[in-house]
Structure 1
Amino acid sequence: MAEIGMRRAFINTVNYYKNFYPVRNYSVYPPNFIDAVWKNEEVDKIIETKNEMEIKLMRVKAAPTHATCSVFFDHDVHLFTNHLMKKGNRKLAKELVNEAFVRIKRIQLKKYYDAPPDEADKIELDPVKIFHEALRNVTPVLTTRSVIHSGVKYQIPTVVFPKMAKFLGMKFIIDAAGGKDKRDRFYASLAHILLSAYENKGLAVQKKLDLHKFCDANRVYAHYRWT
């Protein structure tokens, strides 16, 4: 019993000090392992720059679960699906995105067939291209961060990094689609939001503009970035 008590005390002590000292997560792969390459253009580049024997002797890490060389794979769509996913239900998130793309395709095809011949060629039919343009239109260039100065918290405007800007753009789209009429299906609202953002209007674009206006209103606090 004494041994069990000492073991418990040791474990409790270790768990206590874990809260004060950062834990470094070591990689399961040694440093001489290289990242897996699955894109065709990157594979061709490696073959051109290295000889066959050197390639055979390379030690490669396991490829991520989403790795594919399919021509239908799009990194931004995959990233958007991950942001949309809740409780690890990736299948549902993929179905919602695919259904939204199907609805976009049908809407654009109807516009294409109803439009005059000279205007039909200007109508974009590819949902992925529409998604990219919509994401570009809702991506902010400024954001705010909290800074405490003299005991007062200020929202300081600052330039947003590319990854964070893309995340905010996707968040604006998802929030705008989720805030639509609850009687509509989510994928229908998502398709409507993407088409509106593609035309540089709609609720998602308004969220970006509101953020920029908030940054402009707080520009008097910009000098607190260096304090």
Structure 2
Amino acid sequence: MAAWPAAVLYKLRVVKALKYEGVCESVLYGLPFIIKPTSCWQLDWDELEINQHSFHTLCHSLLKRKWMLLAKREPQNTSPNWNIMVHSYYIIVPSDSATLLVKAVAIRELLLPSTFPPLLAEHHERVHGPIESALNSLEVEVAYNPLHLKSNLYKYLKGVLYKPLHRQQAQPRDQRPERHQPKQHQSRAKAMVAPLPMAASPVQALRPAAVRRDSCEHSLLPKEYDEFLQ
């Protein structure tokens, strides 16, 4: 689409393969990316089909070997003023679906110094039994399915977002502060304005004489009749 800017292309060059058990999750950081085979309309149908088969074959081969790929991102534009290029490295992880997961991996300059003690080869017999029994009592699943877990996140966000709206609607109109005039001006205007008399109906405005005669007759009647007519 012409309204959208052109997509930025990144080229990853695989430098070596890694074993699954040789990569720790602690050296991976940042948001992951997903690689899938292209469906660009500018390519021929035969080229798209061959690319699809090659991608699926690569996923199957990595899963069979239990390998990950270590790739380096090559720079797009080489500036003559920069003699040193900074390269970023990524881990490409295969999956059961027709996609590859890409995660940034820490390098030497980003790794913080740390000293972790190695795991002891021998375990204490006193705590071995309780630990084994506790682990044996757990339910074991072959694969993790995120659809089996629910955190009530939507209900929490709905309650947080709708509470201010309910409070604003429940507030009486008389208690809402006026935005146009301050309270001091309102009280001063109420003290200066006298109560207005009731306006006469259009029929009474056309017959002023009849109004005067009726008012005179009403004034001659007893007080209870006046209260009744009012």
Normalising by structure 2, we get a TM-score of 0.17
Which is strand-richer, 1 or 2? 2
Normalising by structure 1, we get a TM-score of 0.17
